[in-house]
Structure 1
Amino acid sequence: MKKTFSQQVLYWFEDHGRKDLPWQCDRDAYKIWVSEIMLQQTRVDTVIPYYKKFIQHFPDVNTLATSDIDDVLHHWTGLGYYARARNLHKAAQQICALHESKFPKETEQAIALPGIGRSTAAAVLALSYNQPHAILDGNVKRVLARYFALEGWPGAREIEQQLWQHAESLLPSESFAEYTQAMMDLGAKLCTRSNPNCSACPVQENCMALEQQRQNELPTPKPSKKIPQRDVVVAIIQDYQDDSIWLGKRPPTGIWGGLYSFPEFEDSAKLDAWLSQHYENSSPRSRTLPVISHTFSHFKLHMHPKLIQINKKPNGVMEDDLGVWYKLTDQKVGQKIGLAAPVKKVLEQVLNCNKEQPHGAHGAMCEAQ
């Protein structure tokens, strides 16, 4: 008897699927949920070291729920898309308050949690509880768009609805956890974005894209548009008595919400006015550092750092709830707070500056790296 789509995928998974990922060991819903949130917009090989450190520090949902958000963001630093960490923390608190510290088994309750949509909820419920749910992450969208030769960008609502229908129609009658992982693996290992390995694909016989020799055209790319550019001047205020740097806490929502960053200005004139107001009596000396660029999903940011060294901190200006004086060490910064990747890069520039001059020689200002 001819095997169905799901049977072919499961048969392939037995020999070629990933079964040793760190969150697969015991089908713990908390660990699978954390991994699924981390895997949104991020590759598996990038996620694994972050996941291991995160679980080591937050081994269960109660620990996560009762932890300070700064600590959570600190352990997310480098993964990007920080709203995921904030929502993970909020969801953990709701799970403890509303679901007796257990990830809910009902789809509606799972989707009601912050940061969890239909596909993420389905993945957690299928992988943890072996429930019959179709998923539709990026890998699965690519597999199905090619298998059915579906025209149109998968992110468009109409196309996504068609993909959901296809995904649900192909579900097996059992082994839902294995099938869910198999579909993700199929997209990650064989049906890749470029140069798909069609000759090794278990469903190649009925793949319409392969039959039409369109596997490199599908899925249809997202319509391109020019990414806006944004330039900002950032002030790295360093007390050269102890090398500490002022970092302000950003608002809880928006870009880098809840993370710590440098004071930010539209141009150098506004920075100079701010320095005159807050640091006129601190003998500030300034130096321009290399520009740091960072691409977000909807714009590209160019940070123009100015290192401003002062001989004393202003009294009564900087409050603890607004930010911290960040201590630089020989290796890294001490406090456990959340930092975006570009902020870490700037701090590394300053740290390298400090290493290249003898202690107490900050008055001469370091050369830009």
Structure 2
Amino acid sequence: MRDMDRFPAPGATSSEEETELNQQLLSWYDRNARIMPWRVSPADRARGLRPDPYRVWLSEVMLQQTTVAAVTEYFQRFTRRWPSVLDLAAAQDAEVMAEWAGLGYYARARNLLKCARLVAQELEGTFPDSYDALMKLPGIGPYTAAAVASIAFDRAETVLDGNVERVMARLHDIHDPLPAVKPVLKEHAGVLTPQLRPGDYAQAVMDLGATICTPKNPACGICPWRSPCQARIAGTAPELPKKTPKQPKPTRLGFAYLARRADGAWLLERRPDKGLLGGMLGWPGSEWNAAPDPRPPFEANWQDLGGEVRHTFTHFHLILQVKLAELPSGYNLTPGQELLTRHAFRPQDLPTVMRKAFDLWAGSEFNPGPNG
């Protein structure tokens, strides 16, 4: 018998029990909802204030694989600069990619623009209000479609993120490992999703996982679901959910070439739209693999900066050797390359790994200082 079979299967609880669980959680949420710049509080929702679908969608895209703490500042910058989906749709690609720099997973930014432009051009600036219609938009998968439909439009969709998975695994004391057990956890979550206040409920479960039912040291004593929680009763909550061990990440090597003209202008190149860091500006360099080609973008007296850049992507670790040379005044740009004057160049517009290379230069003996 599998561990998950020791407790009631989805649908085995009564409607009265489900209603009681919903009421317990929503009552807790009404008092303890996290304050976020994209969220409408439960009190405001009760007064009839509805969430802005644009802000809900933008926040959910940003929150994919990224923490609330990291997203908040980016969200506020984006919405100040592009307060509506029509504003975002009219933005230049390079502007959006620059504002996204540092948030990671850059395919999200490209899909963000594609989605905004489709909504602006084909849907008159109005987001669809159903899961199926949202799933047809660029960059929107099952989780984001469910979250936007639920939170923005109060559709009774099952929202399943890492927080909800953890809550469901503990509530039912399910020991089968993720990711294989995800469909079972979604079934359990779906059974509890109410028709009344589904948007608040979705955010309540996520808040419960983020603040009470945390990965380590869950605060079971103050949890609104402490009584029915099977893992609390069994004493297994801290070890759930189980996860299939991940394979170790390989390490790739590469070269980054920082070329600076005597007047302070920097040579950069825009990466291809498809692939890692697609569409972002960065330093010319080699491919990233086990034995990268060390040939620089042009012949010069390339100096080693005396350090290396280490960065971790989703599927591999990267070690970059960083070289520096003076860019000739008459250098002819090749396709994809751009020259930014010292006043136009902003290190914060670079993706994190490229910013690390710049920081290595900034802290080196080769940096002439603010007047150089």
- TM-score normalised by the shorter chain: which range applies? 0.7 to 0.9
Deviations 1:32-64 (A, max 9, x none): 100011111111111111100011111111111
Please report how far the alpha carbon of residue 174 of structure 1 lies from its aligned counterpart in structure 2 after TM superposition: 0.5
Matched, 1:92 2:89: no
Q: Give the match's secondary structure for 1:113.
A: coil
Partner letter of residue 333 of structure 1? F
Which of 269, 278, 282 is matched with 1:248 structurally? 269
Identical residues among aligned pairs (%)? 33
Preserved contact between residue 251 and residue 316 of structure 2 (Cα < 8 Å): yes
Q: Which residue of the partner structure matches residue 25 of structure 2? A: 9
TM-score norm. by structure 2 comes to 0.86
Q: Give the match's secondary structure for 2:279.
A: coil
Preserved contact between residue 146 and residue 215 of structure 1 (Cα < 8 Å): yes
Preserved contact between residue 37 and residue 84 of structure 1 (Cα < 8 Å): yes
Preserved contact between residue 29 and residue 204 of structure 2 (Cα < 8 Å): yes
Matched, 1:307 2:324: yes
Which of 312, 326, 343 is matched with 2:340 structurally? 326
Structure 2 runs not aligned, ≥5 long: 1-15, 41-49
Matched, 1:40 2:64: yes
Q: Which residue of the partner structure matches residue 10 of structure 2? A: none
Q: Which residue of the partner structure matches residue 22 of structure 1? A: 37
Q: 1:326 to 1:268 in 2, by over 3 A?
A: farther
Q: Give the match's secondary structure for 2:256.
A: strand
Preserved contact between residue 125 and residue 133 of structure 1 (Cα < 8 Å): yes
Q: Give the match's secondary structure for 2:326.
A: strand
Preserved contact between residue 326 and residue 335 of structure 1 (Cα < 8 Å): no
Please report how far the alpha carbon of residue 77 of structure 1 lies from its aligned counterpart in structure 2 after TM superposition: 0.9
Q: Give the match's secondary structure for 1:348.
A: helix
Partner letter of residue 23 of structure 1? W
Cα distance in 2, alignment partners of residues 117 and 227 from structure 1 = 26
Matched, 1:230 2:247: no
Partner letter of residue 195 of structure 2? S
Matched, 1:155 2:179: yes
Matched, 1:217 2:239: yes
User: Please, which moves more after superposition, 83-92 or 305-314?
Assistant: 305-314
Number of residue pairs aligned between Structure 1 and Structure 2: 344
Q: 1:268 to 1:150 in 2, by over 3 A?
A: closer
Q: Give the match's secondary structure for 2:150.
A: helix
Cα distance in 1, alignment partners of residues 370 and 314 from structure 2 = 41
Which of 286, 294, 309 is matched with 1:271 structurally? 294
TM-score norm. by structure 1 comes to 0.87
Preserved contact between residue 284 and residue 311 of structure 1 (Cα < 8 Å): no
Which of 121, 126, 130 is matched with 1:102 structurally? 126
Q: 1:11 to 1:314 in 2, by over 3 A?
A: same
Please report how far the alpha carbon of residue 327 of structure 1 lies from its aligned counterpart in structure 2 after TM superposition: 3.3
Q: Which residue of the partner structure matches residue 348 of structure 1? A: 359
Cα distance in 1, alignment partners of residues 214 and 347 from structure 2 = 40
Preserved contact between residue 74 and residue 339 of structure 1 (Cα < 8 Å): yes
Structure 1 runs not aligned, ≥5 long: 361-369
Deviations 1:205-254 (A, max 9, x none): 11111111111111012322111000101111121x11222111111011
Q: 1:69 to 1:152 in 2, by over 3 A?
A: farther
Cα distance in 2, alignment partners of residues 80 and 348 from structure 1 = 18
RMSD: 2.3
Q: Give the match's secondary structure for 1:248.
A: strand
